[in-house]
Amino acid sequence: MSQNDPISGVSGRRRAGRAELQAEFERAYQEELQNAKGAGGTPPDEAALRERAAAKVRSRHPEADPAELSQAAWSASQALGALSRG
């Protein structure tokens, strides 16, 4: 039996699930936030941070379904927003 994923066509690599993608997005977002804070100056632009984090996750998981990635990023953004509001 072939190890090709019939949806993505990626061979030999398991597709990341939504929870894994969400955790990856949260880590990437926190990295980007720390980088922005370390640079000083104006407060970081939330939309730019989310986009850079999503780009990192897409580059690390090219096999990920774009809809799953989008949903994971949205869920992570909601969770991060709730944490920042206290």
Contact 54, 69 (CB under 8 A): yes
Distance between first and last Cα of the chain: 50
pLDDT in tens, 32-60: 888 888 767 677 788 888 899 999 999 99
d(CA 46, CA 33): 9
Between 5 and 74, residue with greater pLDDT: 74
* DSSP 8-state secondary structure symbol assigned to residue 62: T
pTM, two decimal places: 0.68
